[in-house]
Amino acid sequence: MAVKTVYAVQAFETQRKKLVPTTKIDAPSESAAKKRAESVAARAGGAAVIALTLDTESGEVSQAKIIARFGAVPDDLDQLIESF
């Protein structure tokens, strides 16, 4: 089983008084993801950097972890991430 960590930036914006996810952007590294998230949050309202550990053979996610938050991010994001 080959394991790989993938970094994603999840953007959020307010629609009808609720924070909703919008664009997801993949990043090549944790530092690149943080830079992109900071930039996205400045324009969109909020962003989170999520590290996904997955099995490259099956594509199955074994762990999801929030690395950073910028701007407005849902309070229950941790609980949503645990469902991966």
Question: For the chain, which residues make up each domain, given as ranges?
Answer: 3-82
Residue 52 contacts residue 8 (beta carbons within 8 Å): yes
Query: 73 or 81, which is more confident?
Result: 73
pLDDT in tens, 41-78: 999 899 999 999 999 888 888 899 999 999 999 999 98
Structure tokens at 19: 């924070």
3-class state of residue 54 by DSSP: strand
How confident is the model at residue 56, as a pLDDT?
Answer: 85
State the average pLDDT for the chain.
Answer: 92
pLDDT in tens, 10-40: 999 999 999 999 999 999 999 999 999 999 9
Q: Against a cut of 0.85, is the pTM above it? A: yes
Rounded (5°) CA angle 49-7-12: 35
Other CB atoms within a 10 A radius of the CB of residue 12 amount to 25
